[in-house]
Amino acid sequence: MTVVAVVGGAVLAGIGFTGSYSALVHLGFAHGFGWFSRVFPIGIDAGIVVLLALDLHLIRRQTPWPMLRLLAHLLTGCTVYFNASAAGRNDTVGAAMHAVLPLLFVASVEAGRRLVVKAADLEAGRESAGVPLHRWLLAPVPSWRMYRRMKLWDIGSYAQAVGLERERIVYRALLDRRYGDWRKAPSDARLPFTMARFGLSVDEALALPQKAEEAERLRAEAEQARQVEAETRSAERAAEAEVARLRARGTVEAARHQIDAETGVAAVEARAAKETAEASAQARARAAAEEAQAFESLDAAEANKRAAETEEAAAETRRRAAETDRAAAGMEREAAETRRRSADAERAAAVAEREAEAAKEAAEAARLRAAETRARVAGMELRAVEAEDAARLTPRERAARKVARMILATGSSDPEAVELQTIADALGVSTTTASERRREAAELLADGYRPTAANPTTTTLKEVAA
């Protein structure tokens, strides 16, 4: 059959092209085309083949352009019209005979196009079958809606579209049975009909509120994590500023003590030098005066007396110089003590700086560990939610497992480790409902529920027995 189809199609296409070519050549000469009359039929009939081939090539390249097929159909209409006109105005039978020939050629080419498109769809795993003709005839309005959804939301399978429609009809019957009329059902229960025009199934539409709540929870957790990170950065900046202030204050105190010590030592040395010079000058003056008087006076005893007084004065001067030296030594000791306190202050500032650096490194490590823990917990929570979605658990079962994971996150299996208000805030329920969920979580933990990173929804022993 394949050989007959291919060979027969090629023969029919050749016959149609030959007949169309001959008719259009005569028509071209009749309308004054001259020598171009022999090229004109090739341009029209070959143009049909080329445009359809380009259309197929673009479809295989995943870049279809419907305009090419429309142009090919336009050329098909033109060649049929030109072939019919070649028979003359009053020869109806001749016109029909001429029109049939290009139809054979166009039909063969279109059949080949459909075969290539079907093969490409099968290779890509697509289904190109649209709404069948009998459905258009039996239910035109619903068929139009189905066709519109298939084209708008890329539903390539007619069987899939029928399955979605059947699922919505069964769901509507169940709502009518439960509420008397599906329009009286709650808004969440009517979501499959509201979202039908967007190509969603019943299960996908009913899961939208839970997905929205989960997305809102994830956004809230992300915002909380950003706030914690911002607070951590603010605390780190404050600690760095405090360390800088302490370092500057220690530097200033050390410089002040050093300057005070140097100033005190210089003042003591200056006073001691001044008093020593004054005492030496006074002694020399008295000695000179007494010596002159001794030469002038004939009384040696009086001269000896004055010499003794001069010696006593020199001794007093030496005593005051010694006291001045002791005072200078005391000032030196005070300066040394000041320098020692300055060194202690510098060492204390260095220790404070090292402690601040260590505290900063510890804070950074704690922040990294907290971020890793939050990421790991968030990943485990996300995998748990995905696994629960796949297991089709009820919201109540999801809430109980979430509370169980919150209890395990505290590092113990004691349900009292998590307060009721924390559970109520996390689930968005009242404290009474939170108490029930905590009780159910305790039962799950008692039954052996232990989620892991590899399997976040590990079943309990009771569920395994069931």
pLDDT at 98: 64
Measured CA distances, 375 to 225, 368, 378 (Å): 10, 10, 5
Q: What gap in Å lies between CA 460 and CA 263, rounded to an integer?
A: 83
Whether the CB-CB separation of 64 and 58 falls below 8 Å is answered with yes
Dihedral sign, CA of 198, 202, 206, 208? negative
Dihedral sign, CA of 200, 206, 209, 213? negative
Strands (E), 163-289: none
Whether the CB-CB separation of 175 and 182 falls below 8 Å is answered with yes
What's the residue count for the chain?
466
pLDDT at 352: 72
DSSP 358: H
Q: Which residue has the tokens 């899961």?
A: 207
Q: What contacts 24+ positions apart, CB below 8 Å, involve 422-427?
A: 426/402, 427/399, 427/402, 427/403
pLDDT at 314: 67
Dihedral sign, CA of 187, 191, 192, 195? positive
User: Which amino acid is present at 186?
Assistant: P
Q: Which residues of 225-250 are buried (b: 16+ CB within 10 A; e: fewer)?
A: eeeeeeebeeeeeeeeeebeeeeeeb
Q: How many CB atoms lie within 10 A of CB 362?
A: 10
Q: What gap in Å lies between CA 334 and CA 437, rounded to an integer?
A: 74
| Reported pTM | 0.34
Measured CA distances, 315 to 103, 270, 320 (Å): 148, 22, 9
For the stretch 396-406, pLDDT in tens is 888 888 888 88
With a cut of 50, list the residues of the chain below it in pLDDT.
453-466
Q: Where are the alpha helices (DSSP H) in 31-63?
A: 40-60
pLDDT at 376: 67
Start-to-end Cα distance in the chain? 57
pLDDT at 459: 44
Residues 6+ apart with CB under 8 A from 299: none
Write down the domain spans for the chain. Answer: 2-124, 133-206, 229-376, 393-465
Measured CA distances, 264 to 2, 269, 325, 329 (Å): 118, 9, 14, 11
Q: Which residue has the tokens 């306190």?
A: 341
pLDDT at 466: 35
